[in-house]
């Protein structure tokens, strides 16, 4: 089993003190994670939240490319409707070049109402803008000759994208998905898939079955490295700490629901049933507990075919060290054998 990180730095306007996930400490955490054996870091992209979330993930990954040498650098996700797709193709290719071919390019169509409203883009245009952008980015990376493009949203004349990407034919493309329909669509697209940290174990098993069935239907072989499941992490030592961690998780989830809807960014009346989180007090949608308990939960995921887990960024580097020291060794022999 391989482990990566998921999340981003935080820097709020008007706050000149760096918190535990401020940019400087975040960068130090990623550098430390590489030394501890973590496989990847996937950065979010969000705008206008007021909570200081990462808005320019490719810029931050360029800096991380210079500070690291082995850890893979991912976006989870770059929201394509907000961007000029040719400029994004150039920026992503630059990260791939600077990192020596370590970019994992996760893309999405967006879901937060505040972002669609802020960018003045109708929400119903999210999917067609995303689809046109994906086609353009792929063509930009694959075309050695100049080309034209006349689409619904974008037009270009006599362009060739530079620099070329290092990975061939191009960096791995990832997409987040939650509904059965979107999971099947990702399988058919050939993209790798990111499954979120909101779903319970029961819902995760349902999603994995949808993925397997969709891959079988399209003749796509199942490859463990092409599917990643995100999970929150809190290592506890006592039953009191465990109960506190569950309570904190419920409070965070309630705040998300209050700010954005049942799933962050979606109005409650637009919540897809298959994406809904019924009970965030259910601990099995996160890795909470003693190291032994967390190993058991990871082994359960592994028994269902999950070999790649993205850990939500913890509050500090010591949690990563504990995870590396007390949990990762239970999976190292299997990982070495797989390699």
Average pLDDT over residues 176-199: 92
> End-to-end distance of the chain based on CA atoms, in angstroms?
10
Q: Residue 12 — pLDDT band, cuts 50, 70, 90?
A: confident
Q: At what angle do helices 85-98 and 57-67 cross, to 10 degrees?
A: 10
Distance CA 21, CA 317 (A): 10
Q: Residue 198 — pLDDT band, cuts 50, 70, 90?
A: confident
Contacts of 49 (CB under 8 A, 6+ apart): 112, 114
Q: Residue 265 — pLDDT band, cuts 50, 70, 90?
A: very low
Q: Domain 2-338 has what CATH class?
A: alpha beta
Q: Tokens 């058991």 map to which residue? A: 296
Distance CA 93, CA 105 (A): 10
Average pLDDT over residues 112-133: 96
Percent of the chain with pLDDT over 90: 73
- Which pLDDT belongs to residue 242? 92
- Which pLDDT belongs to residue 338? 45
Distance CA 258, CA 268 (A): 10
- Which pLDDT belongs to residue 175? 96
Contacts of 314 (CB under 8 A, 6+ apart): 233, 234, 320, 323
Quick check: 261 pLDDT over 70?
Answer: no
Distance CA 86, CA 94 (A): 12
- Which pLDDT belongs to residue 335? 46
Strands 227-235 and 40-43: unpaired
Which of 1-5, 20-24, 98-102, 254-258 shows the lowest per-residue confidence on average (mean pLDDT)?
254-258
Alpha helices in 99-221 (DSSP H): 113-119, 126-142, 180-189, 201-218
Please, what is the average pLDDT of the chain?
Answer: 89
Strands 147-150 and 155-159: antiparallel
pTM of the predicted model, to two decimals?
0.90
Tokens of 164: 């070329």
Backbone angles phi, psi at 177, to 5 degrees: -155, 150
Distance CA 92, CA 114 (A): 25
Q: Residue 248 — pLDDT band, cuts 50, 70, 90?
A: confident
- Classify 122 as helix, strand or coil: coil
Tokens of 87: 């400029």
Percent of the chain with pLDDT over 70: 87
- Which pLDDT belongs to residue 276? 43
Q: Tell me if 161 sits within 8 A of 140, measured CB to CB.
A: yes
Q: Tokens 């169509």 map to which residue? A: 109
Distance CA 298, CA 99 (A): 30
Q: Which of 333, 241, 314 is nearest to 33 (CA)?
A: 314
Average pLDDT over residues 118-142: 97
How far is residue 161 from each of residues 103, 104, 147, 248, measured CA to CA in Å? 17, 19, 10, 47
pLDDT digits (tens, 9 = 90+) for 215-225: 999 999 999 99
pLDDT digits (tens, 9 = 90+) for 284-306: 789 999 999 999 999 999 999 99
Domain ranges of the chain: 2-338
- Which pLDDT belongs to residue 21? 58
């Amino acid at each position: 089993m391989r482990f990566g990180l998921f999340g981003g730095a935080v820097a709020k306007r008007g706050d000149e003190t760096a918190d535990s996930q401020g940019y400087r400490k975040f960068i130090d955490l990623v550098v430390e994670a590489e030394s501890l054996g973590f496989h990847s870091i996937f950065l979010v992209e969000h705008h206008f939240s007021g909570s200081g979330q990462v808005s320019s993930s490719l810029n931050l990954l360029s800096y991380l490319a210079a500070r690291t040498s082995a850890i893979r650098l991912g976006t989870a996700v770059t929201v394509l409707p907000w961007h000029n797709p040719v400029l994004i193709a150039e920026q992503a290719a630059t990260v791939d070049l600077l990192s020596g071919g370590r970019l994992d390019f996760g893309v999405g169509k967006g879901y937060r109402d505040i972002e669609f409203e802020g960018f003045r883009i109708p929400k119903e245009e999210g999917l067609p803008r995303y689809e046109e952008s994906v086609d353009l980015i792929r063509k930009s990376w694959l075309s050695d000759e100049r080309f034209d493009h006349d689409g619904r949203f974008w037009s270009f004349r006599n362009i060739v994208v530079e620099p070329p990407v290092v990975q061939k034919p191009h960096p791995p493309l990832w997409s987040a998905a939650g509904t059965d329909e979107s999971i099947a669509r990702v399988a058919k697209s050939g993209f790798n898939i990111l499954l979120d940290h909101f779903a319970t174990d029961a819902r995760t098993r349902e999603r994995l079955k949808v993925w397997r069935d969709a891959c079988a239907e399209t003749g796509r072989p199942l490859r463990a490295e092409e599917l990643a499941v995100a999970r929150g992490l809190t290592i506890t030592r006592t039953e009191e700490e465990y109960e506190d961690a569950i309570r904190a998780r419920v409070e965070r989830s309630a705040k998300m629901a209050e700010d954005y809807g049942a799933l962050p960014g979606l109005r409650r009346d637009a919540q897809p049933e298959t994406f809904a989180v019924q009970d965030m007090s259910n601990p099995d949608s996160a890795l909470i507990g003693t190291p032994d308990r967390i190993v058991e939960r990871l082994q359960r995921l592994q028994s269902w075919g999950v070999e790649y887990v993205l850990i939500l960024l913890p509050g500090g580097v010591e949690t990563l060290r504990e995870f590396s020291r007390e949990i990762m060794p239970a999976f190292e022999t299997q990982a070495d054998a797989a390699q």
